[in-house]
Amino acid sequence: MTDPLRHRVDLKELTRQEMTEFLAGLGRERFRVGQLMRWIYLRGVTDFAAMTDLAKALREDLAQRATISDWTPEAVEESRDGTRKYLFRLADGETVESVRIPMEGGRSTLCISTQVGCAMGCSFCLTGSFGLQRNLSAGEIVNQVCAAAKEGPVNNIVMMGMGEPLHNLDNVVRALQILYDDDGFSYGPRKVTLSTAGLVPQMRELGERIRVQLAVSLNATTDEVRDQLMPVNRRYPLAELMAACRDFPLQPRQRITFEYILIHGINDWPADARRLVKLLHGIRAKVNLIPFNAHEGSDFQPPTGEAVEAFQSYLLARDIVAIRRASKGQDISAACGQLKGKLERAEGVISKGPKDVISDK
């Protein structure tokens, strides 16, 4: 094979430090790193020839040795409520999705993926039923933000798309470093939320390596139920998970978000609300209550409105911040994992039946 382009480095894969080393390898001064990052992330330029404040010789060198990847969605769906879902085709043919969710005041949050599929196998989650295809690289994580930013500012980022971010910790940390860079998007750690199913050792490592807003998908208040909903609980049961949450370093006024998907008859009982209050004791927490989003891959049912109301009231009465999160983008199945599901069903890829772990209990 004599394709010279195969050896080019994609600059979007590099943290500031790695880009500095790369430029040093070309014999270039350090201060060019900031200029290069501003071209890439602030101006969205992918053609070295257009980087007019860099010496021509450097631009030519870069064009020989590097590339800047640039993503355009293969499909975009827009929901009646303004939620936009992007599907991206990766170089190896795999697909990932991101969802832009409009917020009050013209702001928007982008939900991004960190893996193709997911190894965690949660029984309520469509992504879980695909298994893990592969990790996303740092550049593939960052490119979801770049592509969405072309359509307008992205104020907040949540890693709640496909995949378990802490199962891809190194690339996720490098992507965060790129997203935080002052010469790039300069996101502050409070603008980015990482959601985990509860990989305890990696939670501890994350806290040591980088600052980020942490969300934990709790979804149950007993090990018995959580073992069934989230197999990761068999490895790291509730007591260990809650201890890791207590130890997680928080900034002043910062809280951990606990995601709780309410599933009819499974985890939406008054006793669950009572146990949840006990579990959260001593943790600076807020709770997001998310009605289960029904999909073809699962027999679970959404909770009744009354059950959600009662659950929320119980928490609020005990001074726990509990927000009921409307599932946006329902008409385009924007709940994470569902676009890919729809597309691949249409293509006949999905042949597996529903993973039915506890519905006959």
Rounded to an integer, what distance in angstroms lies between the CA atom of residue 326 and that of residue 361? 28
Site for ligand SAH in 207-236 (CB under 6 A): 217
Nearer to ligand SF4 among residue 131 and residue 270 (C-beta) = 131
Q: How far is the CB of 316 from ligand SAH (least distance, A)?
A: 21
Per the annotation, the verdict on 97 as an active-site residue is yes
Core vs surface per residue 166-193: b (16+ CB within 10 A) or e = bbbbebbbbbbbbbbbebbbebebebbb
The answer to the question of residue 336 lying near ligand SAH (CB under 6 A) is yes
Binding site for ligand SF4 (CB under 6 A): 118, 120-122, 125, 127-128, 163-164, 197, 217
Per the annotation, the verdict on 74 as an active-site residue is no
Contact 190, 233 (CB under 8 A): no
Q: What is the dihedral of CA 114, 118, 124, 126, to 10 degrees?
A: 80
The contact mask relative to ligand SAH for 280-299 (x = CB under 6 A, - = no) is ----------x-xx-x----
At residue 116, the 3 state secondary structure works out as strand
Q: Which of 77, 97, 140, 259 is catalytic?
A: 97
Query: Residue 250 carries which DSSP code?
Result: -
The answer to the question of residue 196 lying near ligand SAH (CB under 6 A) is yes
Nearer to ligand SF4 among residue 15 and residue 98 (C-beta) = 98
Nearest residue to ligand SAH by CB is: 293
Ordered DSSP codes for 34-49: HHHHIIIIIS----GG
Closest CA to 263 of 287, 229, 238, 239: 229
At residue 18, the 3 state secondary structure works out as helix
Question: Site size for ligand SAH, by CB under 6 A?
Answer: 17
Of 59-67, 70-78, 194-202, 315-323, which part binds ligand SAH (CB under 6 A)?
194-202
Contact 58, 28 (CB under 8 A): yes
Q: Which of 118, 125, 146, 336 is catalytic?
A: 336
Where do contacts with ligand SAH occur on this chain (CB under 6 A)?
118, 124-125, 160, 164, 195-197, 217, 259, 261, 290, 292-293, 295, 335-336
- Catalytically annotated residues: 97, 336
